[in-house]
Amino acid sequence: MTPSLDDLPVELVERIVDYLPHRETLLHLRLVSPNLNVKLTRRFCKTYFTSSNWRLKSTSSKAIVHFSRCPDVVAHLTSVTLTAPCANHASYDNIWTAKSIEPAKMARALSLFTEVKTLQLINFGSIQGLMNTTAFFQPFVLNLYLPKLQTLHLLQVDIQADDAIQLLKKHGQTIKRVELDRVNLLYLPDTDTPKYETPWFDLLYSMREFKNHCSVSIEWAKQDGRTAQLEPPWENWSFTLVDEFIYKRMCIEMVPDDPEDEDLVGDTHVRIEVPANKDWWDCVSRLAAFNIFSITIGGWGVEDLDNRMWEWSDEDWDGQIAQCLKIKARKAAKRKEKAAAALRKQKKEGLEAAMMHGQLKK
């Protein structure tokens, strides 16, 4: 039997390839030896395609679709980072259409990478000049499912609360780590901006369906562009310790907005770290309680509550959540009733105008 390069171990083939003087020589070698080509491709993907970072544009969007059809890439890719395109220096009616980015198609392609365990979404928001991230996230979240996803990291992202919740729920069976850094949760009001909307409470409470103990990191949480309150509602919590405050085994601390910017010296925000232990849900649910309490009752520094809040038990806080949800439901019902009345008035005025127009024509 005639000896063939195809019979050589891949390690020896790689050594031979290292000595080939020209790229054309390597290409010809791969063409005349299909088995060798397969071996090299498999080893290349195993070495260089375990993680991938794409800045979204027309070419990268097409590349994601292309690589999703390559079995060797699919088998070895475990980490994906998507960075949003920049719109700061141009005006777009729809940046996704302008840059030939199809969120639904791209999400379906990403879902074919069945070994992905880490997903990072970076700069999908105002920092990149993006004014309408909903046009991206709604079809993206609807079509995305990564069966082995363990870590989800959102950095400087503006996203509708419903889309963020859906993204977490779809991966609740496997998720073990959630990082939310400068995430701005938005909502769609039925009239003007509702005072009693609680997107962070809704997001945090959706984690109760997670199958695994999950570590959660939240830094500089925002709600509709404003800082969201997740820290304890008693007034003096931040003065308990110099650097960090440990509460129910989670770490809450004040950190500088930008340590390198002299104009922001003294400006701080809250960073929270919840460990992945048996108490993780107690910690997350307490953060949710702090948030809804602050919005519906306005608990920071309330003198008659400030001293005894520290001593509230889990049952007390559960009761507060129930009370806050009732307040929220009443306010939502009033908003809905007000919106319905406004719609009836609008229809009545339109009908009267039509009748008046008909009389004038006669």
pLDDT tens by residue, 19-35: 666 656 666 666 667 77
Check whether 74 has a pLDDT greater than 80.
yes
pLDDT of amino acid 301: 45
Residue 241 exposed, middle or buried by CB count within 10 Å (0-12, 13-18, 19+): exposed
* Count of beta carbons in the 10 Å neighbourhood of residue 118: 17
Secondary structure class of 177 (helix, strand, coil): strand
Convert the pLDDT of each residue in 98-147 to its tens digit.
Answer: 888 999 999 999 999 999 999 999 999 987 888 889 999 999 999 999 99
Q: What does the DSSP assignment read for 211-244? A: SS--EEEEES-EETTEE---S-SSTTGGGSSSS-
CA 212 to chain centre: 19
| CA distance linking residue 243 with residue 233, whole number of Å | 18
**Chain-centre distance for alpha carbon 247:** 25
Rounded-to-integer distance, Cα 31 and Cα 18, Å: 17
pLDDT of residue 131: 80
pLDDT (tens digit per residue) in 260-283: 655 656 688 899 999 999 999 999
Q: Which residues of 168-294 form beta strands (DSSP E)?
A: 177-181, 184-186, 215-219, 222-223, 226-227, 245-247, 250-256, 268-274
For range 316-325, the mean pLDDT: 83
| Residue pLDDT, tens place only, 134-171 | 999 999 999 999 999 999 999 999 999 999 999 999 99
Task: Point out the least confidently predicted range of 143-152, 160-169, 185-194, 310-319.
Answer: 185-194
Instruction: Work out the pLDDT band at 204, boundaries 50, 70, 90.
Output: very high
Residue type, 14: E
Q: What residues are paired with 60 via a beta bridge?
A: none
Q: What is the pTM of this model?
A: 0.81
Q: What is the pLDDT of residue 42?
A: 76
Domain chopping of the chain, boundaries: 1-48, 50-334
pLDDT of residue 27: 62
